[in-house]
Amino acid sequence: MSWSKAPITLLSGEVEDNLSGIDPNSFEFRLNNGEWMSFKNDSAQEGVWRDEDEIPPLLDEGVTTVQVKVSDKAGNTGVSAPMGFMFDLTPPTLFLNSPTHPDQDRWYPSPFVRFLIGSEDNLSGVAAYSFLLDRSPETVPPKLDMMRADRHQLDFDLPSDGSWFLHLRARDEAGNWSEPVHYRVNLDSTPPKCGISVLRPKVDLSSGEIAFYTVKGDPPELLFGPARIELSLSEKLSEGPRLLLKKGSDVRELELSPSDSSGLIFSSAIFVDASMDEGQWELVVQGRDKGANPIGGVDGGRVRISSHIEARRGGTIFTKDLSSALLIPKRSFEGRARFELIPVGVGYRLKILDPIRLVRPLKLVLPLGEEIRGGNPAVFFYDGVHAHQIGGEVVGDRIVVSVDGPGLFFVSRALRGPFRAWAAPNPFTSSTLFHVVGGRGKPIIRIFTIKGRPIRTLRGEVLRWDGRDEEGRTVESGLYIFQALDGGRIATGTVVFVK
């Protein structure tokens, strides 16, 4: 006796009586040794009984025994041997889960996945399973026996990242196949990668524009002033990113802002100041992707901080708000030095934090205020007592002027006045600088003794006198006369040298 998934629609058998004959009204049946019930023989053929509409509808799921009883016309009764029927019309119920990847909405970093299979079939019992693993959410496995019913576990090593689906069906002993069940596993085993670009500002002297550009070098170098760090991620993160600037025990977290709506590009503003030690700093990027993988690779994770400008290379420093810049040409001094340009009130203070001697002028780039644009602007130097006009060339929305030392500078409308010249400091011991205003911008300074003997002529952008004559000999202490000439205009004055 075996299980069947098809219902019985007909029962029949043979009956024989060679003497008095079968009583056609004596047919009875019983189920599972229960009460006897009469039924009508539907067969017109002699020696055969048949029933389609009385006994079969009573045969339900499970195991049922049927016996038939009949009498002959003489009253003799015969009983058939029990006939057994096993029906299972209900497909199995399946349960599928994963102890390694229990949440179907979550992403996991491990490609190894284990599935546990459970099933219910209260009648014939589960006989076999069919399954498929693919990337489609609704695949139906074929009706093929692929795994025995006594196995309740499937293990896989997923070959690649993404969403995978296990599709499972079960067959019971009656041949009923269950509806497929599907289980999703989301795999993200690849750590995110991060690229870092370091940018610093650059001023275009032809237009006055200040823009950021990518710093080359390994590691890239940052000078005093503002800079920008850009992160490019290989995938979106569920946690982070965080950007840390680290040197030894000095750890600084930099604020990051998204650069667009993709979630892959971020930028951070940084200002290099005197509080940061010179040398190599590490850029540490922290974060995790949807699979909880930490950022695994950082391309460009170092930067060199240099608060000193090397004379042989020169450099440019900027104010924090990027409104102003100081260009330090190559070999404009000797050695290395620190420079600062700081907004103060209506002007900007240029500081040189190390003792150096400038041999070439610096270029100071200052913004033009709204009230000055379109007029006749000029840069002024304030010596603590007087403001001295030193000129400048307008480029775009800024003005560029050559300066030969530290001090306080501001922009205002140019003064229309006489041709003037003066020396500062005065008196001096090591060197003094001549300032000329009201000319055409290419003055010459001639220096004479008080008796009128010429001892030195100065030309160029920086008019600095070091107390030496044309032969390089240090002159005597005392009062000297100077004469400034520019485009046919002449101004005179005196300067005192003290050894």
Q: Tell me the sheet residues that pair with 391.
A: 379
> What is the tens place of the pLDDT at every residue in 429-444?
889 988 887 776 678 9
Tokens of 101: 């990847």
Q: Which residue has the higher pLDDT, 30 or 217?
A: 30
CA 244 to chain centre: 14
pLDDT recorded at residue 257: 94
Query: 15-19, 168-172, 416-420: which has the highest mean pLDDT?
Result: 168-172
Around 174, how many Cα atoms within 13 Å sit in the side-chain half-sphere? 23
Instruction: State the pLDDT confidence band at 159, using cuts at 50, 70 and 90.
Output: very high
The answer, as to whether pTM is greater than 0.75, is no
CA pair distance 131, 127, nearest whole angstrom: 14
Instruction: State the pLDDT confidence band at 346, using cuts at 50, 70 and 90.
Output: confident
Helices (H) and strands (E) in the chain, counts: 0, 46
Nearest to 499 by CA among 415, 427, 400: 427
Q: Which residues in 404-443 belong to E strands, given as ranges?
A: 407-413, 420-424, 432-437
The domains found in the chain, sorted by start residue, are 3-87 (2.60.40), 93-187 (2.60.40.10), 195-307 (2.60.40), 310-413 (2.60.220.30), 420-497 (2.60.40.1930)
Q: Tell me the sheet residues that pair with 457.
A: 446
Average per-residue pLDDT for the chain:
91
DSSP 8-state secondary structure symbol assigned to residue 291? T
Lowest mean pLDDT among 53-57, 273-277, 359-363, 472-476: 273-277
pLDDT recorded at residue 416: 66
Nearest to 116 by CA among 153, 88, 150, 144: 153
Instruction: State the pLDDT confidence band at 77, using cuts at 50, 70 and 90.
Output: very high
Average pLDDT over every residue of 207-229: 90
Average pLDDT over every residue of 168-183: 96
Using the predicted structure, report yes or no on whether residue 489 has a pLDDT greater than 90.
no
pLDDT recorded at residue 438: 72
Tokens of 43: 């067969």
Q: Is 103 exposed, middle or buried (0-12, 13-18, 19+ CB in 10 A)?
A: exposed
CA pair distance 158, 115, nearest whole angstrom: 13
pLDDT recorded at residue 417: 65
pLDDT recorded at residue 440: 67
DSSP, collapsed to helix, strand or coil, labels residue 346 as coil
Nearest to 3 by CA among 114, 127, 98, 109: 127
Q: Which residue has the higher pLDDT, 414 or 160?
A: 160
465 contacts 480 by C-beta, under 8 angstroms = no
Lowest mean pLDDT among 99-113, 372-386, 435-449, 468-482: 372-386
pLDDT recorded at residue 467: 94
